[in-house]
Chains A and B, each alone.
Chain A
Amino acid sequence: MEERLYDLIFILRPDTPEADIDKVISTLEHAATEKGGKIDSVNKWGRKRMAYRVQKLREGYFVYMVIRSSHGEVVKELERRLKVSDPVIKYLTVRLDEELKRQDKLKRHRERRAARRPRKTVPAAPAMPGAEQTAAPTA
Chain B
Amino acid sequence: MAEENAQQSYGGGGGPRSSGPGGGPGGRPGGPAKRGKRNFVRKKKVCRFCVDKADFIDYKKAEILAPFIQERGKILPRRMTGTCARHQRWLTVAIKRAQNIALLPFAAEL
Contacts and interface: CB of A to CB of B under 8 A. Distances in A.
Query: Does B associate with A?
Result: yes
A37 interface: no
Interface of A: 7, 9, 11, 50-54, 60, 64, 90-92, 94, 99-100, 102-103, 106-107, 110, 132, 135-136, 138-139
A60 B6 CA distance: 65
A52 B102 contact: yes
Nearest to B10: A139
B12 interface: yes
B102 A139 contact: no
Instruction: Give the one of B2, B60, B107 with max A CB within 10 A.
Output: B60
Given A135-B9, A136-B2, A11 B56 contact: no
A110 B54 CA distance: 11
B102 A50 contact: yes
Closest 10 pairs between A and B when the two form their complex, measured CB to CB: A139-B9, A50-B102, A51-B105, A136-B5, A103-B55, A139-B8, A92-B101, A106-B55, A103-B56, A51-B102
Nearest to A106: B55
Interface string B49-89: 00001011001101000000000000000000000000000
B101 A90 contact: yes
Nearest to B56: A103
A9 B104 CA distance: 14
Given A7-B60, A92-B97, A135-B6, 19 more contacts: A9-B60, A11-B102, A50-B102, A51-B62, A51-B99, A51-B102, A52-B102, A52-B106, A52-B109, A94-B97, A100-B56, A110-B53, A132-B2, A135-B9, A136-B6, A136-B9, A138-B9, A139-B5, A139-B9
A102 B9 CA distance: 54
B5 A92 contact: no
Contact of B60 (A11, A64, A107, A138): A64
B19 interface: no
B47 interface: no
Instruction: Give the one of B59, B103, B106, B109 with max A CB within 10 A.
Output: B103
